[in-house]
Amino acid sequence: MRTAQAVAWKEIQVYFSNPTAYIVGMMFLALSGFFFARDLNDPFPQASLVNFFDGATIILILIAPALTMRLMAEEQKLGTIELLLTSPVRDWEVIIGKYVASFVFLIATVALTLYYTILLYVFASPDPGPIYAGYLGLALYGGAALAIGLLCSTLTSNQIVAAVVAMGILLVMFFADLAADNIGGTASTIISEISIRSHFEDFARGIIDTKHVVYYLSVIAFFLFMSVRALESRRWR
């Protein structure tokens, strides 16, 4: 576990010293601010962050792959992956360390949007329930998106390919519930449960359902497991 912590700390330092990461973070803040401002233009604005949360789920489809695309792809491109595989570091420690680093940076970025919450409390009296639940859901949603992006980065040495493939997977999972509506039957139920968006909607309404929490944790666990397996397979090439 100490090795995973060392990997995570190294990657966190890279994130906070990398201009690209700050650009990605600023993009998230700018775009999420746009969705937050939509409520202000409403003749009868509501004291809530519903538009912000809805917009953030879309933005993370772009942001999460951008944050994870270099994690393993860069190691492969520079050839440092071979040094990593021959060092006394377990594969799961590498994956967990890199994942934790990306998650920490994402949470730090999302934390800056608490400014919107402060504004709501200054000028209105919002219900805190949907805000707390919404941020919890956003953390789980973002964690799942990062896990998907990390797997794609593990499978290729090209950062652009990793980002594009991750975005593609996230888009499919995002719109899965819409496709399910046009199918019907048992298949429709199964496909709708895959939707990464439908599991977030209750959080935005202030409802914390164990089913949704388990879904996101399962997605994170599955894609991290697949990342470990993908990294292990390189030892036998």
| pTM of the complete model | 0.91
Question: pLDDT band at 81, cuts 50/70/90?
Answer: confident
- Domain residue spans in the chain? 2-236
Concatenating the DSSP letter of every residue in 102-169 gives: HHHHHHHHHHTTHHHHHHHHHHS---HHHHHHHHHHHHHHHHHHHHHHHHHHHH-S-HHHHHHHHHHH
Please, what's the b/e burial string for 108-143 (b: 16 or more CB within 10 A of its CB; e: otherwise)? ebbeebeebbeebeeeeebeeebbebbbebbbbbbb
Per-residue model confidence as pLDDT tens digits over 38-58: 766 665 566 678 888 989 999
Per-residue pLDDT tens digits for 98-144 = 999 999 999 999 998 888 888 888 877 778 888 999 999 999 999 99
pLDDT tens per residue across span 137-193: 999 999 999 999 999 999 988 999 999 999 999 999 998 877 766 676 676 777 778
CA distances from 67 to 15, 63, 91, 161 (A): 9, 6, 20, 13
